[in-house]
């Protein structure tokens, strides 16, 4: 059995590691991978947007299953590209991946499916969006570019002026085709959770929920990032709330996708706001979350590869996922200047000895002359596991203390609130 993972970040490192432990003993490949992944997989330097080169690699190397990490290739149609050649791939079709690729599509789908979500209006002209803002009496509102805008397409605007600025920015052309349409929606209040389910289009296999931290600084201050940390499970999320998320958000969305001929297979990620009125959907993603995957997969006891193969065979009915009782906490180590810029080529020390209960995933590193160096904004993901959040957190931060590179920055409050809840 040969398996190819597409992508080269911390999420893909966690995926490669989880797949490599399968009793099916797969030979692991990754494109492009990273120096951490290269320790456990054969890596090949193909960028994630070169769908034809990825397909040719899978064909030439007789890959049995390809697993896609990032959204862009899925939104670009990598699944169809592989299916044309009879190759197996874990991930949704281009039609189903629109649930992440277009906010307008996703909001309209939710409306038709009766999924609880923020009220919204969609616009394809700046003047119409501005006129709407003038009629609106209640602020804040959330302004979203329709397409994928490198995590910069969403603004929670406290005032009309701020909202107008965000609308102008989206229509300025700065986001390309992603900014041709816009969604303006009600701001929801509550706690956010990332919900993952594996689905063959009909059956769902829920994974454990996780929480990520999007802001750069402690206390959720500063600009948004790709994610500065995560923890799982969520002790604050009642089982009834989780069940309501599956029944009111996930299932109707999958039914609606099937109804419009865009049946979803793969991993569906719902970003959910748990409000005073129950869970409401914020957004959908067509792939695993980053860095949430890094706190979910280390605790998976079931065989991830077998589950992915079963997804493709539409054979998830009656299956269960088993988890260790451990908690997991991920601290992201970012380079100097992130998120505005990132410092490259700084030498990283302290990676040789990984303490027990700790996983270190490479997110943006390169190896030169036998040493690791920074190669992007989010450099490493340090995950601690333990029987309590306190233990998992202590292990993660103790491991962080042992790692150094110039300008290294990280949050010191990841899972702090979860630990406090645990103490109650």
Q: Site residues (CB under 6 A) for ligand GLY?
A: 212, 227, 285, 289-290, 292
**Which of 122, 142, 274, 400 is close enough to bind ligand AMP by CB under 6 A?**
142
Q: What residue 128 binds from ligand AMP, ligand GLY, none (CB within 5 to 8 A, per partner kind)?
A: none
**Which of 68, 154, 304, 419 is close enough to bind ligand AMP by CB under 6 A?**
154
Measure the CA–CA gap between 279 and 272, rounded to whole angstroms.
6
Which of 283, 191, 277 shows the shortest CA–CA distance to 234?
191
**Which of 75, 113, 254, 282 is close enough to bind ligand AMP by CB under 6 A?**
282
CA 295 to chain centre: 12
**Cβ proximity to ligand AMP, 151 vs 407, nearer residue:** 151
Q: What residue 289 binds from ligand GLY, ligand AMP, none (CB within 5 to 8 A, per partner kind)?
A: ligand GLY
**Cβ proximity to ligand AMP, 64 vs 180, nearer residue:** 180
Measure the CA–CA gap between 15 and 296, rounded to whole angstroms.
10
Q: What residue 212 binds from ligand AMP, ligand GLY, none (CB within 5 to 8 A, per partner kind)?
A: ligand GLY
Q: In angstroms, give the least distance from the CB of 391 to ligand AMP.
A: 28
Site string for ligand AMP, 303-342 (x = CB under 6 A): ----------------------------------------
Contacts 24+ apart (CB under 8 A), 349-352: 349/403, 349/404, 349/405, 350/402, 350/403, 350/404, 351/380, 351/403
Question: What is the edge-to-edge ordering of all strands in the sheet holding 344-348?
Answer: 344-348, 371-375, 365-368
Residue least distant from ligand AMP (Cβ): 283
Q: What residue 290 binds from ligand GLY, ligand AMP, none (CB within 5 to 8 A, per partner kind)?
A: ligand GLY
Question: What is the edge-to-edge ordering of all strands in the sheet holding 204-206?
Answer: 204-206, 191-199, 266-275, 278-285
- In DSSP notation, 46-108 reads --TT-HHHHHHHHHHTT-SEEEE-SHHHHHTTHHHHHHTTT--EES--HHHHHHHH-HHHHHH
Q: Please, how many CA atoms are within 13 Å of residue 143, restricted to the half-sphere of its CB?
A: 27
Q: What residue 12 binds from ligand AMP, ligand GLY, none (CB within 5 to 8 A, per partner kind)?
A: none
Residue whose pair of structure tokens reads 């394809």 in the numeric block = 124
Q: What residue 187 binds from ligand AMP, ligand GLY, none (CB within 5 to 8 A, per partner kind)?
A: ligand AMP
Contact window for ligand AMP (CB under 6 A) among 87-95, 107-115, 185-193, 225-233:
185-193
The reply on whether position 156 binds ligand AMP by CB under 6 A is yes
Q: In angstroms, give the least distance from the CB of 119 to ligand AMP.
A: 9
Question: 364, 374 in Cβ contact below 8 A?
Answer: yes
Q: Which of residues 100-119 bind ligand AMP (CB under 6 A)?
A: 118
Which of 274, 379, 346 shows the shortest CA–CA distance to 8?
379
Which of 117, 114, 173 shows the shortest CA–CA distance to 145?
173
Q: Where on the chain is the footprint of ligand AMP (CB under 6 A)?
A: 118, 142, 144, 154, 156, 185, 187-188, 192, 271, 282-283
């Amino acid at each position: 059995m040969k398996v190819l993972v597409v992508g080269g970040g911390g999420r893909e490192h966690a995926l490669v590691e989880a797949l490599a432990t399968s009793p099916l003993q797969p030979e692991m490949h990754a494109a492009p991978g990273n120096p951490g992944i290269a320790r456990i997989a054969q890596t090949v330097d193909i960028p994630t947007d070169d769908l034809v080169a990825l397909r040719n690699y899978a064909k030439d190397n007789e890959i049995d299953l390809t697993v896609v990490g990032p959204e862009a290739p899925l939104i670009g149609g990598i699944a169809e590209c592989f299916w044309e050649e009879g190759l197996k791939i874990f991930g949704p079709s281009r039609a189903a991946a629109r649930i992440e690729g277009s906010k307008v599509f996703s909001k309209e789908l939710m409306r038709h499916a009766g999924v609880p979500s923020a009220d919204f209006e969609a616009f394809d002209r700046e003047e119409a969006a501005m006129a709407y803002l003038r009629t609106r009496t209640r602020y804040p509102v959330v302004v979203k570019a329709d397409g994928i805008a490198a995590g910069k397409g969403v603004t929670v605007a406290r005032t009309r002026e701020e909202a107008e600025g965000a609308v102008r920015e989206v229509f300025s052309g700065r986001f390309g085709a992603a900014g041709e349409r816009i969604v303006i929606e009600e701001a929801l209040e509550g706690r956010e959770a990332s919900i993952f389910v594996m689905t063959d289009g009909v059956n769902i296999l829920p994974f454990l929920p996780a929480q990520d931290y999007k802001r750069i600084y402690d206390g959720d201050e500063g600009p948004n990032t790709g994610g500065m940390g995560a923890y799982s499970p969520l002790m604050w999320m009642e089982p009834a709330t989780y069940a309501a998320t599956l029944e009111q958000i996930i299932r109707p969305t999958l039914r609606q996708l099937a109804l419009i001929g865009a049946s979803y297979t793969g991993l569906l990620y719902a970003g959910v706001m748990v409000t005073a009125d129950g869970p409401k959907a914020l957004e959908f993603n067509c792939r695993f979350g980053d860095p949430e995957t890094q706190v979910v997969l280390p605790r998976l006891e079931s065989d991830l590869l077998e589950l992915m193969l079963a997804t493709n065979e539409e054979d998830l009915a009656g299956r269960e996922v088993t988890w260790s009782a451990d908690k997991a906490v991920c601290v992201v180590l970012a380079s100097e200047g992130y998120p505005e810029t990132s410092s490259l080529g700084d030498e990283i020390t302290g990676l040789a000895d990984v303490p027990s209960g700790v996983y270190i995933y490479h997110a943006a590193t390169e190896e030169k002359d036998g040493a690791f160096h920074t190669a992007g904004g989010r450099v490493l993901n340090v995950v601690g596991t333990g029987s309590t959040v306190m233990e998992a957190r202590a292990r993660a931060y103790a491991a962080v203390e042992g790692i150094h590179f110039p300008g290294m920055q990280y949050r010191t409050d990841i899972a702090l609130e979860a630990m406090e809840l645990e103490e109650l």
